[in-house]
Amino acid sequence: MIFIVAKWPVKPEFVEQWPDLVEEFTQATRAEVGNKWFEWSRSLDEPATYVLVEAFDDDAAEAHVTSEHFRKATAELPKYLARTPDIVNATIDQEAWSELGEMAVGGQ
């Protein structure tokens, strides 16, 4: 799968609105064939930064970046950003989340 983590540094005046600003893009991406997950979190160390964790089947990422909603997002979202997002993009030999065995809970 293709595993991506991106850090989105949002301008201070848009930080609280960010989840609403990306809602359409988020829902459209989650509906894509081959999307495994597309999850936003907010950094505890940098409260104006949102972290996006996403994954796609190997052959689905190209459809994502050529989709209408991706083109719309790349045209509209930069105006809300303090700078260009950082990204880690890797193809990994895994199909889903694994359990973190070192932190096993109870009888799992």
- Per-residue model confidence as pLDDT tens digits over 17-70: 999 999 999 999 999 999 999 999 999 999 999 999 999 998 888 889 999 999
Calpha distance 46→65 (Å, rounded) = 27
- 73-90 average pLDDT score: 98
CATH 2.40.440.10 given to domain 2-94:
no
Note the pLDDT of residue 107: 64
pLDDT above 70 coverage of the chain, percent: 98
Cβ pair 33, 63 in contact under 8 A: yes
Domain boundaries, the chain: 2-94
